[in-house]
Amino acid sequence: MPMASPSRQSQASKPSYFEWHNLSFEIAGKKILDGVSGHVAAGELLAVCGPSGAGKSTFLDVMAQRTKPTDGYTSFNGELSPDMQELSSYVEQHDALLGVLTVRETLLFAAKLSFPPSTSSAVIQRRVEDTIAQLGLSRVADNRIGTPIQRGVSGGQRRRVSIGVELVRLPRILLLDEPTSGLDSAASREIIRTTRDIARRYGMLVIATIHQPSYETLALFDRVLLLARGQTAFFGATSSLVPYLRDVLKSNIGEHSNPAERALDLLNDDFNMAESRDQGDEEKAARDNASVPNVLATWREFSRTHPAEAYLTLNPSPNTKYTAPDATFVGADAQDPRWHAQWYRPIHQTGVLMHRAFLNYTRNLLAYGVRIGMYVGMGVLLATVWVNLGTSSSKINDRLSVHFFSVAFLGFMSVAGIPAFLEERHVFMRERLNGLYGVGPYVVSNSLASAPFLFICSLVFTIISYWSIGLHPGGEHFFKFLAVLYLAVYTAESQSLLVAAGVPIFVAALAIASFLNGFWMCVQGYFIRAVNLPAFWRVWAHWIDYETHAFNFLVINDLRGLVFECSNSSGQCHCEYASSLIASGRCEVSGEDVLKTLDITELDAGTYVAILFCIAIVYRILLFVVLYFKRR
């Protein structure tokens, strides 16, 4: 790996320590955390245990600065309120990974997003391979993570990959929320053992919430923090937990008992209360309910009278309090603040994200594969239903229907991309909150990477349907039809992503996006002419509707320059639209006459393209704004 700068080396050579003092968090008048204090040193693992609702996840969110405490503060090496996005990585309880990437590719992209572009590919590859080997993933390194329609690695291996994408960055502080969730005891033990080895090798500080660990797993942690009702019930060395439970709390711990389970039994009073009330013994319920306050009070008294065993003081001497195991932090310049401040960092990250998005869209059937199939099907449908319309005036309305169907229904099918975007959004939120990149690189990369796939969707539809229907002949008209239809589809895609970004629930996003597409159909001007629309809808909705401008242009592109034959029965010429040609003795109607009757404003092609492009850009800007303010 690249050598760190001298200043970074001197900083890394000192044992690091992270501490929190009197942390409290309150919401809606309820205290989730109440005066929690403690510390952890470089190379150490801290286990945060407690019953459900004890405040474990909130504690971790406060540590990561994702939640602002109502009182108290944290410090790193004596520096108050450190930038945790720069120092830490947070592995959340729920895995957020792109299912079509392999294990190796997932870690490789995480490393490329973390390290500066000056880092050689050989160094990045070596770091990835080391992480894969350390996590026991070598056997499945080239297997895909897995999607709902394609089986991948097991749940335990997937969990290890989630940890690996953060470990590959070598953060100063690693925060793990239930890292052993869904794993058997052996796998849980190995995950914690591997994390401990890496932490000691690189001098990381690890804080992990863990629910009811086995004795062997708990023994791998250096320190334990027990929480109950948001308060500290015990904080100290793991080896001190059993003596504290036995000698101070007078709890009977058998030879084969798990001290973690025994501690949780003492701190969990939910079921004791329910059982006591079922028995009708209110007095016993009161005693059971008082057990947790007694345990908390015992700890407060013990920490006051035994300061050597209980950490409650602020700013201890690193030489005496913290003794990291012969390991200094040797992380790459990914943690160097100067790399975070470089102007070209977003450009580098945009390129990496585009590469990853291209792989994702190429392999993920839910992204564009299904939609290409849908557009092929709709192209065949139009080509066989509106086949060879010809130039009879009775077919003019059928031509209008073709253009409406092309714009409205191809745009409507953009909702099919919502599931793939929601998966991608989960990954983005995790990586953004961990400080990997910002909203700008993601929105730009998504906007650029999706463009060729949407063009392919539009192209296959146009090739199948255009000539079979018999629209305006000539290559120029064909390519104009394709260009404007593509812009309309791209705009519809941007609208669906905006909805899914703001409402990241599939059913809700699908409903809202479908409603919007139906709304644009109503005010577009096909079902009801624009001049007949109520003024309230015409003056704003009709003109900001991307379908309005796309439909108008496709109609102009098709009808302008064509002449349609009218029916001539018993010497009477009957045209579907008012014709200026009848006066000159021709029983025909021109395309220009139809456009005039429909009251379609004839703008040049460049103006229509510019309008659609601006609407798409507005949607993308709104996507940026929504993602910027959407923290969860």
Predicted confidence at residue 604, as pLDDT, reads: 87
- As given in the structure block, the two tokens for residue 520 are 């644009």
DSSP character at residue 89 = E
Mean pLDDT of 30-45: 89
**H/E stretch holding 18:** strand 17-27
Residue 315 and residue 22: Cα distance in Å, rounded?
A: 13
Q: If you average pLDDT over each of 184-198, 333-347, 604-618, which comes out highest? A: 604-618
- As given in the structure block, the two tokens for residue 585 are 């003795």
Name which of 499, 512, 513 is nearest 425 in CA terms: 499
Condensed to tens digits (0 to 9), the pLDDT of residues 289-300 reads 447 888 888 888
Mean pLDDT of 439-461: 95
Residue 442 and residue 353: Cα distance in Å, rounded?
A: 7
Q: How far apart are the first and last CA of the chain?
A: 34
Residue 590 and residue 594: Cα distance in Å, rounded?
A: 7
HSE of 341, CA atoms in CB hemisphere, 13 A: 3
Predicted confidence at residue 250, as pLDDT, reads: 80
Please check whether residue 131 is in contact with residue 357, taking contact to mean a CB–CB distance below 8 angstroms: no
Please check whether residue 542 is in contact with residue 517, taking contact to mean a CB–CB distance below 8 angstroms: no
Proportion of the chain in helix, strand, coil states, percent, rounded to 5 = 60, 15, 30
Does residue 326 have a pLDDT over 80? no
Q: How confident is the model at residue 10 (pLDDT cuts 50, 70, 90)?
A: very low
- As given in the structure block, the two tokens for residue 270 are 């939910």
Share of the chain above pLDDT 70, in %: 87
Give per-residue burial for 200-237: e unless 16+ CB within 10 Å, then b: bbbbbbbbbbbbebbeebbebbbbbbbbbbbbbbbbbe
pTM summary value: 0.85
Please check whether residue 98 is in contact with residue 427, taking contact to mean a CB–CB distance below 8 angstroms: yes
Least confident of 228-237, 397-406, 487-496: 228-237
Predicted confidence at residue 270, as pLDDT, reads: 60
Q: 333: buried, middle or exposed (CB in 10 Å: 19+, 13-18, 0-12)?
A: buried
Predicted confidence at residue 332, as pLDDT, reads: 43
Predicted confidence at residue 584, as pLDDT, reads: 85
Please check whether residue 209 is in contact with residue 57, taking contact to mean a CB–CB distance below 8 angstroms: yes
Per-domain residue ranges for the chain? 17-98+167-311, 343-559+602-629
Condensed to tens digits (0 to 9), the pLDDT of residues 467-519 reads 999 999 999 999 999 999 999 999 999 999 999 999 999 999 999 999 999 99
| C-alpha dist (Å) from residue 132 to 126, 157, 420, 440, 598 | 10, 11, 27, 30, 65
Share of the chain above pLDDT 90, in %: 41
The residues facing 223 across adjacent strands are 46, 237
Amino acid in the structure at residue 156: G
Predicted confidence at residue 493, as pLDDT, reads: 95
HEC string of 501-561 equals HHCCCHHHHHHHHHHHHHHHHHHHCCCCCHHHCCHHHHCCHHHHCHHHHHHHHHHHHHHCC
3-state secondary structure of 150: strand
Residue with tokens 């992204």: 367
Backbone angles phi, psi at 431, to 5 degrees: -70, -35
Q: 195: buried, middle or exposed (CB in 10 Å: 19+, 13-18, 0-12)?
A: buried
Predicted confidence at residue 343, as pLDDT, reads: 67
Q: How confident is the model at residue 456 (pLDDT cuts 50, 70, 90)?
A: very high
Least confident of 59-63, 286-290, 541-545: 286-290
Does residue 92 have a pLDDT over 80? yes
Residue 553 and residue 539: Cα distance in Å, rounded?
A: 20
Q: How confident is the model at residue 239 (pLDDT cuts 50, 70, 90)?
A: confident
Residue 376 and residue 572: Cα distance in Å, rounded?
A: 43
Residue 458 and residue 481: Cα distance in Å, rounded?
A: 10
Does residue 389 have a pLDDT over 70? yes
* Contacts of residue 317, Cβ cutoff 8 Å, sequence gap at least 6: none
Predicted confidence at residue 467, as pLDDT, reads: 94
Average pLDDT over the chain reads 84
Least confident of 21-25, 269-273, 345-349, 355-359: 269-273
Handedness of CA 337, 339, 343, 345 (dihedral sign): negative
Mean pLDDT of 537-547: 91
| Structural fold of domain 17-98+167-311 | Rossmann fold (3.40.50)
Backbone angles phi, psi at 88, to 5 degrees: -120, 165
Mean pLDDT of 350-377: 91
Predicted confidence at residue 103, as pLDDT, reads: 94
Give per-residue burial for 404-429: e unless 16+ CB within 10 Å, then b: bbbbbbbbbbbbbbbbbbbbbbbbbb
Condensed to tens digits (0 to 9), the pLDDT of residues 416-431 reads 999 999 999 999 999 9
Mean pLDDT of 401-406: 94
Mean pLDDT of 405-409: 92
Name which of 194, 180, 61, 47 is nearest 131 in CA terms: 194
Q: Which position has the higher pLDDT, 243 or 453?
A: 453
| C-alpha dist (Å) from residue 494 to 80, 356, 484, 490, 617 | 42, 19, 15, 6, 9
Name which of 35, 32, 41, 33 is nearest 21 in CA terms: 35
Least confident of 150-164, 283-297, 328-342, 451-465: 328-342
Does residue 341 have a pLDDT over 60? no
Residue 75 and residue 40: Cα distance in Å, rounded?
A: 11
Sheet of strand 88-91, all strands in order from the earlier edge strand to the far edge? 88-91, 173-177, 205-209, 45-49, 223-228, 231-237
